[in-house]
Amino acid sequence: MKYKDFNHWELAEDAYFVNWVLRPNKHADKFWKQFLADHPEKSEDVLLAREIVTNIRYSDKPRLNDTEYNDLFERIISTKRSKRPSNVFYVREAQYRWVRYVAAVTLVLASAILYNQYWLSSHPSDEKTIQTLVKESPRGSKLTAVLSDGSKVKLNAGSKITYPKEFSDTLRLIYLTGEAFFEVESDPARPFRVKSDKVNAEVLGTSFNVRAYPDDRKISVAVAEGKVKVTNADQSTVRFEHTLLPFQESEINVQSNQVVKRELQDDMIFAWTNWKLVFKEEPLSLILKKLERWYGVEFELKGAIKTSETYSGSFDNDPLKVVLEVLTSQDAFDYEIQGRKILITSKY
Amino acid sequence: MKVFSESSITSNGELKKTTSSRKLSHQEIVQGLEQGDESVLGYIYHRYVQDMFGFGSQFTRDRELVKDSIHEVFASLIARRQSLEKIRSIKSYLFAAVYHRIIYDIKKNTTFKNKNQKNNYREFNIEFSVQNRLIMEESNREKLNKIKSAIKNIGARQRQAILHYYYDGFVHEEIAMIMGLKNAHSVTKLISRGLKAIRESIAVVVVLFMTDLG
């Protein structure tokens, strides 16, 4: 028997031995038991060889986090559902590349909107034929809509999109107030543009997130994947043009009228599309505003409450009561639910 | 800054529910895919996606690129662009497909300037947690680190072959397929050379260790 002259390194290299260690089966078990019975002096080598075989691993093997895990699965499943025309192989491949560009764009709209003006100025010739649709997701609710080109839109609480029933041949234009996540069907011939009165974000085929709440002070465009062109949309806003790559963000401060381009440190900005409520070092004032939209409630503050105090935390679409319990558990204030109104009172 | 709780609900709890815990045979998987059975797709995803991601991440640090590649691989499985009958083992097929997809994407995204530069980035660093039985006591951290750096000095393809063989549990033919090697014999050679290097690096450490004692 050849194995009696093997040391542990030679055993660790032997396919029959390795196979036994990694995929044990009755036959191999029997063989190696017999071998050890015949050659008891080899038991140390067999043990060491087993150790070598089972102790080699990747020193760095990255894993998907929960959000990425779920997002990727959803992307794959939605690929399955959207029926793709069976084009010639490489044509389909080329188009598919576009779908893969996922961008998340966040716009925060600071003032009231006159979307009709945009609509008419962008589409003077289509004016008569346009039948405009409005999808609205009131405070405290979320919804998903499918557009005529097959693109999907997730609408966050307190948000609204306005778009033509049929898009034109040259442009797919959507007007948004609030926050939405777009999964755009590929169509290089018809750019997909999301408009607000301060910023435009344009892509050819992508998935992206837009936040444009009228009562927020900051407009932000943030990209998760792909490439998005961001420009100012009106003359009163500072003139700029940014091409954003993954994990880059343009933020426009409406009050000071300044624009910065920066790198995102995490994917927190996209968390809501998984129905996750995430705060990262955010002042209480902003957190309460977000909770008002998310749960469709209103807060009333009484007493000395420091709304500039910052908090971090994350919730998986938990009931409001859970969030309130956590928020008030370690702090100086109490809450009281009065229907859709929530009273926050200072303990001191 | 104050931190308040993390919610304890696991976000993929629902996904997990839809997956059967039973191990499907290769034939069941291929049949399920051919019939467009969504639960089989879910099964493959849950079973292999972390391995696919970990493997793909050895070629690039761009997480999005790796995820895109995985998406492409599944899309191509769904579209049945690949004749499924030819797939002999699903895991090695998935690895090979992810690899090709990533290399394709990296080439595509390479700027003109460095287009001629071949992308040879390969991580595949090995961690060999040596037990005291083999050479030394666990407490000897310094020596362990020396082994780690010595293991890094083994060629990347040798490291890859070794990890595929011992960690991923692929047989030689599968490794040859994933790494684009001619035959199983080439794999044998890679593993043999790599293992020899590990063995020598450990020998060096043992000598050092003895010297310290003396």
Residues B86 and B146 in one domain: no
Chain A touched by B7 (CB under 8 Å)? yes
Which of A73, A248, A270, A294 to probe by mutation at the B interface, max B CB count within 10 Å?
A73
Residues B155 and B98 in one domain: no
Q: Is residue B135 part of a domain?
A: no
Task: Assess contact for B209 and B136: CB atoms under 8 A.
Answer: yes
Residues B105 and B156 in one domain: no
Boundary-marking domain end, from B65, B94, B112:
B112
Q: Is residue B124 part of a domain?
A: no
| CB under 8 A, 24+ apart: contacts of A46-50 | A46/A8, A46/A11, A47/A8, A47/B133, A48/A8, A48/B133, A48/B134, A49/A8, A49/A9, A49/A11, A49/A12, A49/A17, A49/A21, A50/A21
Q: What is the pLDDT of residue B22?
A: 65
Region A261-276: mean pLDDT is 80
Residues B87 and B29 in one domain: yes
Residues facing A336 on adjacent strands: A343
Q: Is residue B171 part of a domain?
A: yes
Subunit contact A57:B126, Cβ cutoff 8 A: yes
Closest partner residue to B167 (CB to CB) among A47, A58, A96 is A58
Q: What is the pLDDT of residue B68?
A: 93
Q: What is the pLDDT of residue A225?
A: 66
Q: How many domains is chain B built from?
A: 2
Q: Is residue B127 part of a domain?
A: no
Q: What is the pLDDT of residue A112?
A: 28
Chain A touched by B156 (CB under 8 Å)? no
Mean residue pLDDT of chain B comes to 74
Residue A114 has a CB neighbour count (10 Å cut-off) of 9
In this complex, how many residue pairs, one in chain A and one in chain B, have their CB atoms less than 8 Å apart?
152
Q: Is residue B5 part of a domain?
A: no
CATH number assigned to the domain comprising residue B43: 1.10.1740
CATH number assigned to the domain comprising residue B148: 1.10.10.10
Closest partner residue to A72 (CB to CB) among B11, B58, B70 is B70
A192 or B180: which carries more pLDDT confidence? B180
Residues B88 and B50 in one domain: yes
Residues B29 and B91 in one domain: yes
Task: Please tell me whether residue A36 adopts helix, strand or coil conformation.
Answer: helix
Residues B89 and B28 in one domain: yes
Closest partner residue to B75 (CB to CB) among A62, A73, A96 is A96
Residues B36 and B73 in one domain: yes
Instruction: Give the pair of three-digit tokens for residue A225.
Output: 């994947």
Subunit contact B63:A62, Cβ cutoff 8 A: yes
B4: chain A residues, CB-CB within 8 Å: 311-313, 326-327, 329-330
Mean residue pLDDT of chain A comes to 75
Boundary-marking domain end, from B112, B130, B156:
B112
B125: chain A residues, CB-CB within 8 Å: 58-60
Q: Is residue B175 part of a domain?
A: yes
Residues B57 and B105 in one domain: yes
Chain A touched by B47 (CB under 8 Å)? no
Q: How far apart are CA A45 and CA A42, in angstroms?
A: 5
Q: What is the pLDDT of residue B96?
A: 93
**DSSP class per residue in A211-277:** EE-TT-SEEEEEESSS-EEEEE-STTSPP-EEEE-TTEEEEEETTTTEEEEEE-SSSGGGGGGGT-E
DSSP label at residue A102? B
Closest partner residue to B11 (CB to CB) among A19, A84, A274 is A274
B194: chain A residues, CB-CB within 8 Å: none
Chain B touched by A326 (CB under 8 Å)? yes
B84-124 pLDDT tens trace: 777 778 999 999 999 999 988 887 776 554 544 455 577 88
Residues B29 and B99 in one domain: yes
Subunit contact B75:A79, Cβ cutoff 8 A: yes
Residue A62, phi-psi category: left (phi > 0), alpha (psi -120 to 50), beta (remainder): beta
Q: Which domain holds residue B203?
A: 141-213
Calculate how close chain B gets to A302, using CA atoms only, in Å: 21
Q: What is the pLDDT of residue B13?
A: 30
Task: Express as a percent the part of chain A with pLDDT over 70.
Answer: 78
Residues B100 and B146 in one domain: no
Q: Is residue B18 part of a domain?
A: no
Q: Tell which residue, A182, A186, A185, has the closest CA to residue A195.
A: A182
Subunit contact A22:B71, Cβ cutoff 8 A: no
Region A189-195: mean pLDDT is 81
A69-107 pLDDT tens trace: 988 988 888 875 554 332 222 222 222 233 333 333 333
Subunit contact A311:B7, Cβ cutoff 8 A: no
Residues B49 and B98 in one domain: yes
Domains of chain A: 2-54 (no CATH), 69-268 (2.60.120.1440), 276-346 (3.55.50.30)
At residue A250 the predicted structure's pLDDT band, cuts being 50, 70 and 90, is: confident
Q: What is the pLDDT of residue A122?
A: 40
Q: Is residue B195 part of a domain?
A: yes
Chain A touched by B81 (CB under 8 Å)? yes
Boundary-marking domain end, from B65, B92, B112:
B112
> What residues of chain B score a pLDDT lower than 50?
1-21, 113, 115-117, 132-133, 136-139, 213-214
